Amino acid sequence: MAFLTCNDLTLRYDSTTVLTHLSFSVQQGDYLCIVGENGSGKSTLIKCLLGLKQADSGTLTLGDGLKRSEIGYLPQQSQIQRDFPASVQEVVLSGCLNSRRLHPFYTKKDRALASEQMKCLRITDLADRCYRELSGGQQQRVLLARALCASKKLLLLDEPVTGLDPVVTTELYGILEHIHLDHGITIIMVTHDVECAVRHAKSILHIGKKESFFGSCEAYINSEVGSRFLRASGESIGCRDCRSHPAETEVSSHE
């Protein structure tokens, strides 16, 4: 059974319908990138996957033993978050609150997990630094470590490289690939970086105002909607540049 299955999903934001009749599934061990035009409902979909928004119609089902408490989340960062007056260690530790429920105090196990994730993200030397004094790239590493403290199986990321320079962006994609391959974390990431999406992901979900696509990177590159979107984004990517994945594809049209 799939980790997560959306069937004929329709979502509204206020009184506006932003997604209609969307169907896709995510298997354990998948790396799914969600791409599409601005205003197509990508962030609204993430809120639905997190249980922060109910579907207006259709179904969203968690399976294969996945619980919401096992899902980590790295949101788009606001200016208020960038100025948060806490130490790096405190920010990372707060990710453990996802599984603390009514217990207000961090345990020895929580602190060991936070230490492990800071080591994984190579930010141990920043533990006592104030979060708001860090660079954008350092802050994203801290937030990713925090999300990993909350995530046991699935990690959701909403535009994690926005505002980062190319070098830091490349480093962050490398870290995500390490987390995915070496730690077995399933990843769902919203991104505008289509080139990196098809290079790093296993599958693509394209959300458009008139049509959508779900399938492998290779199938997306060769599809009409994928090739058109890549051209519009100024990208030129051949199948030889992406990983070799089965070309099975499922297309759902917005009606």
Which of 152, 168, 191 is the last residue before a domain boundary? 152
What is the value of pTM for the model shown?
Answer: 0.83
Model confidence over 14-35: pLDDT tens digits? 888 888 889 999 999 999 999 9
Tell whether 112 and 22 lie within a shared domain: no
> Quick one: pLDDT at residue 116?
93
> Quick one: pLDDT at residue 101?
60
- CA dist 227 and 220 (Å) reads 7
> Quick one: pLDDT at residue 34?
95
Tell which residue, 208, 203, 249, 247, has the closest CA to residue 229. 208
Q: Alpha helix locations (H) across the chain? A: 42-49, 79-82, 88-93, 108-120, 136-150, 166-183, 194-200, 217-222, 224-232
Tell me whether strands 4-13 and 154-158 are parallel, antiparallel or unpaired.
Answer: unpaired
- Structural domain total, the chain: 2
Asked if the structure places residue 61 within a domain, the reply is: yes
> Quick one: pLDDT at residue 87?
94
* Amino acid sitting at position 62: L
Which of 98, 126, 152 is the last residue before a domain boundary? 152
* Amino acid sitting at position 91: V
Model confidence over 127-179: pLDDT tens digits? 999 998 998 889 989 999 999 998 889 999 998 888 888 888 888 888 899 88
Asked if the structure places residue 229 within a domain, the reply is: yes
* Amino acid sitting at position 165: D
Measured distance between the N- and C-terminal CA atoms of the chain, rounded to whole angstroms: 28
Q: Which segments of the chain have a pLDDT < 70?
A: 77-82, 98-104, 234-255
